[in-house]
Amino acid sequence: MTHQKLPENSLIAGPVLAIESSCDETACAILSAEGVCLAQRIVSQDGHADFGGVVPEIAARAHLALLPGLVQATLKDAGLTPQEIGFVAASTGPGLIGGLIVGASFAKGLALSLGKPFVAVNHVEAHALTARLPGLVPGGAAFPYLLLLVSGGHCQCIAVEGVGHYRKLGGTIDDAAGEAFDKVAKMLGLGWPGGPALEKLAQSGNSQAIPLPRPLMGRPGCDFSFSGLKTALSQKLAPYGLEPLPHQFAADLAASFQQAVADVVADRVSNALKMMPEAGLLVAAGGVAANSVLRARLEEVAASAGLRFAAPPLRLCTDNAVMVGWAALETCHEAAERGLPQPDDATVRPRPRWPLEDMAARFAPQESIV
């Protein structure tokens, strides 16, 4: 990726300090103006396991307690003083509103105290642009490409046509893939978060042992549905009641469920690629993109379409602040290339929903994203 030379007083002449707090990961990262990660820290909150899922109030309070120390530690890791930061960015939506308010307010306060600009980042856009981090994908990730975003809260096929320009081709009509993984893991007594535990259990199981449905598979379009699959699995458990499950049966069930999800996702993504023939790359992002079986199926889909497949390393699949900082840098570069003023989003309010389609307004001089 190349960018035009920017004026010396451009806000991206200095490093960006980025904050992520949209769910239960509290994260901070510092990136150079070229997108090189100088330091990053992330804390996975541990106060939710007893509840079987993220409790928004607990998450927000944890962000509030963790952020000051986390930011100080990240600055120390980078060998920078706060005054050397060029600007501050934070996830401002979509996500859990309490966490977004805490993170964005902290970032805005820091920016104000330093006399630096603040850039509001769309959390989903940050996932969408992660593949463009320098050196992450061999040969680069040029626009346009197809993004499969699979996480605990999202399951979408998105045409990524440029910074600020996205088309949603399809999405889940009920549960997100990660949500289904967590719920099934809970049924199997694996605790929370369930995705990694279910994948580990599935390694000792037979993915063909227990027949399960493939919702929407073979149908037109690229929408997803996992609720029926989850219900079918619960019916397989019914005969055992409250009795402990035999280990091999549980492993076979986990493997069969995982394979069913991978088959469905592969089918839906294949359709999405047909809807976007101009795509030069298939990118997977989000926490579920860390699943090895799903990655293998997506590699097959991409190869069948004659495309490259790319997925961030595992540390960048889940929510992190590196992607937030990079999305902010991309936004600033795009504004500069269009001859628009550099963004300063101090008045942008956190929001639980922030459709990607709204991001184009940022680069329309007469529009506002407030």
Dihedral through CA 252, CA 292, CA 147, CA 278, nearest 10? -100
Q: Is 291 annotated as a binding residue?
A: yes
Burial of 316-355, coded b for 16+ CB within 10 Å and e otherwise, reads: bbbbbbbbbbbbbbbbbbbbbeeeeebbebeebebbeebe
Contact 86, 33 (CB under 8 A): yes
Query: Is 3 annotated as belonging to a binding site?
Result: no
Is position 150 annotated in a ligand binding site?
yes
Residues belonging to the chain: 370
Question: Buried (b) or exposed (e) across 190-223, using 16+ Cβ within 10 A?
Answer: bebbbbebbbebbeebebeebebebbbeeeeebb
The 3-state DSSP class for residue 199 equals: helix
Question: How far is 226 from 102, CA to CA, in rounded Å?
Answer: 32
Residue 149 marked in a binding site: yes
Q: Name the DSSP class of 57.
A: H
Rounded to whole angstroms, how far apart are CA atoms 201 and 141?
A: 34
Contact between 316 and 130 under an 8 Å Cβ cutoff? The reply is: yes
By C-alpha distance, which of 152, 143, 247 is closest to 205? 247
C-alpha triplet 222, 177, 322: angle, nearest 5°: 100
Cα angle vertex 276, ends 274, 282, to 5°? Answer: 90
Rounded to 5°, the CA angle 330-334-336 comes to: 120
127 in a known ligand binding site: yes
Asked if residue 10 belongs to a known ligand binding site, the reply is no
The CA-atom distances, in angstroms, between 364 and each of 51, 162, 332, 359, 368 are 44, 14, 14, 10, 8
Per the annotation, does 199 bind a ligand? yes
Residue 71 to residue 74: CA distance in whole angstroms: 5
Residues annotated within a binding site for substrate: 149-153, 182, 195, 199, 291
Which segments are annotated as binding site? 123, 127, 149-153, 182, 195, 199, 291, 319
Tell me the binding residues for Fe cation.
123, 127, 319
